[in-house]
Each structure stands twice: as structure tokens, then as C-alpha cells.
Amino acid sequence: MAIFLLVSVMFIGLFGYHFIYDFDWLDAFYMTIITITTVGFNEVHPLGDSAKIFTVLLIITSVFIIGFAIAVITEYILGKNTLQILKKKRVKNKIKALTGHTIICGFGRNGSQAAISLANYERSFVVIEQDKSVIEKFEEDFLFVEGDANDDMVLMQAGIEKANYLIAALPEDTDNLFVVLSAKQLNQKLFIISRASQINSQKKLRLAGADKVIMPDKVGGDHMAALVVNPDLIDFMDRISNVTDGTANLEVVEIEELIGNMDCSSINDLDLRKRTGCTIIGYISPNGKYVINPGPDLKLESKSKVIVLGNPEQIKNLNQMFKIE
């Protein structure tokens, strides 16, 4: 902005003296420079009344602009943390523009994996992390807020008031408990997923306001045992649920997004298999009840959801046909 204003005032003087008062280009440039720098040399040509008024206005304008430009440019050159300040301002503006995003508290093993998965799904999110070295390593890939996730001000900086989800992935259960309590007070509608290390922490986290509590060690152990019992089935499930390139094989879709203005009362009326190639493998009723592999005559209720299975191309066709974001 400072450079733009400086160049602008120079062009105004140059064009003004040349086109309005018939100075040649060199004289117009010379007059502009001695005027905006207020050095006080004599005019190259006698000035009429209008030219004097133009010169006075140019001096007044240039004094403020040059003063502003010098201050800004000097601060930019001499400031040791200028680039970091600019980066933080840019990140802050990006976070302010977010809505309906996810906040990840902690960028350890679980938090970083959650960030990678959300990025693959092209979901917007912000990471809260205390370790400055971790932030510097990954700040080009993800949006970070430096600070303690237990601090309400840090949560506010991450845009918690406009967020839809929060993942508490701190290593200590007590820290996650405080994060859940603080987050729920700041945003009652927030859907909170918390990590837990101890079995007795699950109940406390749910009482504090966590909607889902995940124990990574238990999930990992169950997964490894399942690979012994049903290796092919688990491998197949991993393949259809894994997202590494932004494409998906499973999709949960609200009924309202599918039926729109269509006259549909049952799964058979939707006929998704014929239209998109996708298959409905699950139905979630408005009260949260799950129906696995629902029959074609199952009646569709308002505010219910369906779980759809298909290859990436079929899922893409489904989203495009029904304009699902």
C-alpha cells in the first residue's frame, strides 16, 4: 500500500505538469520530484495561479504519503519478525473466514492423523498446538494457532464460536477433559470427539460434554485381533473406508438432500442403484437407530440419513446429480 501510494502521487504530479501545464516529460518529472520531496529548488517554468494551486495540493498530499511510506518501509526493513507477523496475520484472516470447520487440539500421533484425513476429505480445520517447532515444520500445510488448548482465548482464536466439530487429541486425559469443558461452554452446539487413554476417563469425558470418546489403544488392539479372525473382511473394510486421494467409497447423505422435489416415500422410490450405481447399505432414523442393509420397502422419514456404498466415480455421480457438497 505504501509503495502504491508513493508511485501514484508521482504519476499524478508527472501527468499533471505534462498534460495540464505543458511541461516536457523531463521538466514534469523534475518538478514532481522537487515538489513531493519538498527540497525547495526553483521552478523550471513560471507557474500560473492554477499551477500553484496544483503544486500546493501535491505538496500536502505527498507530505502525508511519503511520511507514511517511510514509516512502513523502515519498519519492514528493520523489523526482525516482519515475515512472521505477516504470516500470522494471513493465518488469522484465513481462520476468521472459516465457518463450520473442525478444531483439532494437539498435533501428536492422533491429531496429525486426524488432520491428514480431514485434508484428504477437503474439510476445513484449525490445529491448536503448543510446540513451536511442530508448527514451523507443518505451517505450510495446515492452519495453526499457537497456544494452550485449555485457554479460552486460544479456542476463540481458532474460531470455536463458528466451528461445528472439535477433536481433543491431547496426550493426557485430564487436559482433554478441561478442553471439553471449556469448548462446551463457548459453543453449546459443538460436536466434540475426545481421545482417552484410560477406561475410567470415558464416563468423565462424556459427562463433561464429549459426544464421542475414542480409545486409540483399544481400537488398535481390536483391529489387530480382527485381522487374525477375519483378515480378508477387515482388509476389505479398510479399503472402502480409507481416503488417501480425496475420493471416497462410503457416503452418509441426508434424505432431504436426495428427495428434494421428488416424490419419494421409500428406498425403492429413490432407485439410487439405477441412477448412480451406488447401493444403500444402511439407514439412520431420526432418533439415531441404525438399520443395516435396509429393504426396498423401508419408509423414508424426514431428517433421516442413508449410508451409500459405491466406487469413487459412482459417489461423484451421486454428489453431482443431487448437488451434494
Report how far residue 2's alpha carbon sits from residue 269's, in angstroms, rounded to the nearest whole number. 63
* pTM of full prediction above 0.85: no
The SS3 of residue 255 is: helix
- Residues of 97-136 as b/e, b for ≥16 C-beta within 10 angstroms? ebeebbbbbbbeebbbebbeebeeeeebbbbbbeeeebbe
- Of 15, 50, 78, at which residue does a domain stop? 78
Nine cell digits for residue 140: 505450510
| Domain membership flag for residue 219 | no
**What is the predicted pLDDT for the residue at 195?**
94
Whether residue 108 is found in the same domain as residue 210: yes
Whether residue 73 is found in the same domain as residue 118: no
Res 263 pLDDT > 80: no
Q: Which of 165-169, 217-221, 226-230, 231-235 has the highest mean pLDDT?
A: 165-169
Per-residue pLDDT tens digits for 50-97 = 888 888 888 888 888 888 888 887 777 766 566 777 778 888 899 999
Per-residue pLDDT tens digits for 148-201 = 999 999 999 999 999 999 999 999 999 999 999 999 999 999 999 999 999 899
How much is the mean pLDDT over the chain?
86
Return phi, psi of residue 308, to 5°.
-115, 135
| Domain membership flag for residue 221 | no
Q: Specify the CATH number for the domain of residue 115.
A: 3.40.50.720
Counting the structural domains of the chain, the total is 3
**What is the predicted pLDDT for the residue at 80?**
58
Whether residue 175 is found in the same domain as residue 113: yes
| Domain membership flag for residue 90 | no
Whether residue 49 is found in the same domain as residue 153: no
Whether residue 107 is found in the same domain as residue 210: yes
| Domain membership flag for residue 224 | no
More confident residue, 276 or 21: 276
| Domain membership flag for residue 243 | no
Whether residue 124 is found in the same domain as residue 200: yes
Report how far residue 278's alpha carbon sits from residue 307's, in angstroms, rounded to the nearest whole number. 10
Nine cell digits for residue 72: 512502513
Q: Specify the CATH number for the domain of residue 54.
A: 1.10.287.70
Question: How sure is the predictor about 261, in pLDDT bands with cuts at 50, 70 and 90?
Answer: low
**What is the predicted pLDDT for the residue at 270?**
82
Percent of the chain past pLDDT 90, that is, above it, reads 36
| Domain membership flag for residue 154 | yes
Q: Specify the CATH number for the domain of residue 260.
A: 3.30.70.1450
Whether residue 109 is found in the same domain as residue 53: no
Domain boundaries, position 35? 2-78
Res 248 pLDDT > 70: no
- Of 191, 214, 237, at which residue does a domain stop? 214
Per-residue pLDDT tens digits for 106-160 = 999 999 999 998 998 889 999 999 999 999 899 888 999 999 999 999 999 999 9
- Of 47, 78, 109, at which residue does a domain stop? 78
Q: How many residues does the chain have?
A: 325
Whether residue 210 is found in the same domain as residue 258: no
| Domain membership flag for residue 236 | no
| Domain membership flag for residue 92 | no
